[in-house]
A = this chain, B = another copy of it.
């Protein structure tokens, strides 16, 4: 899928078909994260690939805002080192991974922010790193039209020309 087309149409997906994610896609998604740029090339990220059905269900029960992880065939748990840029760096990597999944016909969502360190014992994640996000991934259950479903501010609201307050559009 064309790069801008993937960015333009990417939607959060929370319902998945009961169908495994091909190994080739899993690997491509991980490579997308791994190859992402980061501040000072710090690469302060860790990706734990979860495909075990029992563990996925436990993840779903632990995640306040992500119970649907239990239904996904795959989740990538993203943990970060304690560095000043890790949140920013990992966010870029997650964007790369979600776009790559989308381009492969898969849907993902970002479950995050708050309470994720509760997953640490389940996955054996050490104290020194922080659990930053969980990305459930699978083939979308619903038909995705991609068009007209995004609620976004108008371009003139977010883009300025030369000076703040001069709308770009």
Task: Tell me the A residues contacting B by CB distance below 8 Å.
Answer: 1-4, 6-8, 10-12, 28, 30-37, 39, 41, 43, 45-52, 55, 79, 84-85, 87-89, 91-92, 94-96, 98-100, 102-103, 110, 112-113, 123-126, 150-153, 155, 158-165, 168
Say how far A128's CB is from chain B's closest CB, in angstroms.
Answer: 11
Q: Are A34's CB and B95's CB within 8 A?
A: no
Q: Are A87's CB and B84's CB within 8 A?
A: no
Say how far A118's CB is from chain B's closest CB, in angstroms.
Answer: 15
Contacts of A34 in B (CB 8 A): 152-153, 155, 158-159
Q: Are B112's CB and A39's CB within 8 A?
A: yes
Q: Are B4's CB and A32's CB within 8 A?
A: yes
**Dominant secondary structure of chain A at its interface with chain B:** mixed
Task: Report if A124-B47 is in contact (Cβ < 8 Å); known contacts: A3-B2, A35-B150, A41-B151.
Answer: no
Contacts of A159 in B (CB 8 A): 30, 34, 46-49
Q: Are B103's CB and A30's CB within 8 A?
A: no
Q: Are A158's CB and B45's CB within 8 A?
A: yes
Q: In the docked arrangement, what's the CA distance between A151 and B158, Å?
A: 34
Q: Are A158's CB and B47's CB within 8 A?
A: yes
Task: Kindly name the residue among A7, A8, A10, A100 whose own CB sees the greatest number of chain B CB atoms within 10 A.
Answer: A7
Contacts of A124 in B (CB 8 A): 163-165
Contact of A160 among B31, B37, B46, B100 (CB under 8 A): B46
